[in-house]
Structure 1
Amino acid sequence: MPETILINDQGPIRYISLNRPQKLNALNKTLSDEISAALSQADNDPTIAVIVVSGEGRAFSAGADLSDMGETPTPREIADSINHSIAFYQQLVTLNTPMIAAVHGYALGGGCNLAISCDMVVAAENAIFGYPEVKLGMPAAGVAPPLVHQIGRKAAFELLTLCDNISAEQALNFGMINRIVARDALLNTATAMAEQLAGYDHNALWLTKQLIRRSADMPLPNALELGRDIALIADMYK
């Protein structure tokens, strides 16, 4: 039984809710490991078509739990922590199953990366996004690459170095999220989106996600060839 997350499978939708509300769902090793295990299990379950990630309490996730390493971490402990975080985010961006984040309250640092690594993000009006790492005296080592990849160098530089928290409206303008809704409509909206996705052919949905993810790093001619190959693969499933 997981200690730090809640898992609820409703038909083809898996709901994963971060459950350390007393810590604003700060990401420690146990929490990230349990999220990782729940994602892997869902990704290997052909009956699960969509994953919805949310947070219990007052926040989605306030970022890394710095108390994990104590007051004077050794260089080895710091390196292990960074490697663990990188492996976690690599899993997020290579997952096959479509993911929707339902964000309210704080989504900071690693918590912000967890949200934007999902394929779609629905944010409550009270959602606050930000990257405080540099302000805390740490390089934005684990969080910078996904953000740069998603919103571009200049916008990422602004968020990562000024360290200003931004509203849901600003996050929408940066291209970090898809929709803003009232707090009491957040999970219902994410569920409606998940149900719509789950109603489509699962192979078509899965292959389209692969095409979107892989073509983002390709020159257009190569991406078009990839689209052709994926169309041929899809035809094999019929």
Structure 2
Amino acid sequence: MQCLKFQRLILKFGAVSCRSFASSTAEPLTIVKEEDGIRRITLNNPRKRNALSLNMLNTLKENISKDVDSEKLRVIVLSANGPVFSAGHDLKELMSFNDRSKHTEVFSLCSEVMELIQNVPVPVLCQVEGLATAAGCQLVATCDIAIASENATFCTPGVNVGLFCSTPAVALGRSVPKKLALEMLFTGEVISAQRALMHGLVSRVVPKDDLNKETDEMLKKICNNSRSVMALGKSTFYRQITKDTHSAYKDTSCVMVDNLGLKDGKEGLAAFNEKRKPTWGHTFE
């Protein structure tokens, strides 16, 4: 009932389609900061509960994909301003579209953004505070790593308003056991951060006051590793996870050989043997 009431609020006060800068005084839909190889993307539309409108999705696509092949970029972090991480699709926007082509555009673009997150060559981490619902929950499930505060909650309540969360189910069903996924999809009930952690929807749950510290520590560990080795490993992981065991081992055995041939692969083993810190080149040489 909690999530159903929330969705009704979205219908009443939900986001409408707007440009990133509808006027000279409008706030940007996202805030992007990049420093020391870390790109921080913050959803910045709390008044609309950070809904994934067409403009928000296009903005996220641009933010994530920009200079993604640069050796300077090491990791991407998604977070949000306000009490709601993301309310998912902008239901009011969907209701305002009168033709099927616009609906197709919304869901196709959302799927493109989700696939982009797993296809970029660097880890994508999300920092979750508050409620992540429907496509917002899908966004959490899609990221490589998710760190949540103790007060974070998750649900896929589309069924309660007549719009089953079929696309969120793709990411959700690949993150949690089938029976929990279907419970969430059939009832729309909210699950706690601890239950999300128990079943693999998030990686870690920490006290609210420790969320930034825990995230920064994770980012530091990631940035200490070779970009090229992580890129090879990430692409291989998502490719092999859908294969049968024999095919997965055949694929990954070849990748291990390729990894040994990388300059950073050789450097890492040499540094281990010589008991020193490796000096990464972050290239695919």
For the aligned pair, the TM-score class normalised by the smaller chain equals over 0.9
1:15 is aligned to 2:52? no
Counterpart of 1:233? 258
**Which of 227, 233, 236 is matched with 1:208 structurally?**
233
Counterpart Cα distance in 2 of 1:218 and 1:72: 39
| Amino acid aligned to 1:225 | K
Counterpart of 1:64? 89
Counterpart Cα distance in 1 of 2:237 and 2:230: 11
| Amino acid aligned to 2:250 | E
TM-score between the two structures when normalised by the length of structure 2: 0.79
Counterpart Cα distance in 1 of 2:108 and 2:64: 19
1:85 is aligned to 2:110? yes
Q: Deviations over 1:127-163 (max 9, x none)?
A: 0100011111012222111211222432211111111
**RMSD over aligned Cα, in angstroms?**
1.7
Q: Deviations over 1:58-117 (max 9, x none)?
A: 121111111223456333332232222222222223222101110000111111111111
Counterpart Cα distance in 1 of 2:155 and 2:129: 13
Check the 8 A contact 1:125/1:181 in 2, yes or no.
Answer: yes
Does the C-alpha gap of structure 1 residues 15 and 111 become closer, same or farther in structure 2, counting only changes over 3 Å? same
Counterpart Cα distance in 2 of 1:119 and 1:72: 33
3-state SS, counterpart of residue 37 of structure 1: helix
Counterpart of 1:191? 216
Counterpart Cα distance in 2 of 1:222 and 1:184: 44
User: Which has the higher mean CA deviation after the structures are superposed, 195-204 or 227-236?
Assistant: 227-236
Gaps of at least 5 residues in structure 1 are: none
TM-score between the two structures when normalised by the length of structure 1: 0.93
Counterpart of 1:99? 124
Look at both structures and tell me which one has the larger radius of gyration over its CA atoms. 2
Gaps of at least 5 residues in structure 2 are: 1-19, 22-27, 264-285
How many equivalent residue pairs?
238
| Amino acid aligned to 2:172 | L
| Amino acid aligned to 2:187 | L
Counterpart of 1:173? 198
Counterpart Cα distance in 2 of 1:120 and 1:180: 12
Note the C-alpha offset of 1:219. 1.6
Check the 8 A contact 1:203/1:234 in 2, yes or no.
Answer: no
**Which of 205, 222, 227 is matched with 2:247 structurally?**
222
Check the 8 A contact 2:121/2:230 in 1, yes or no.
Answer: no
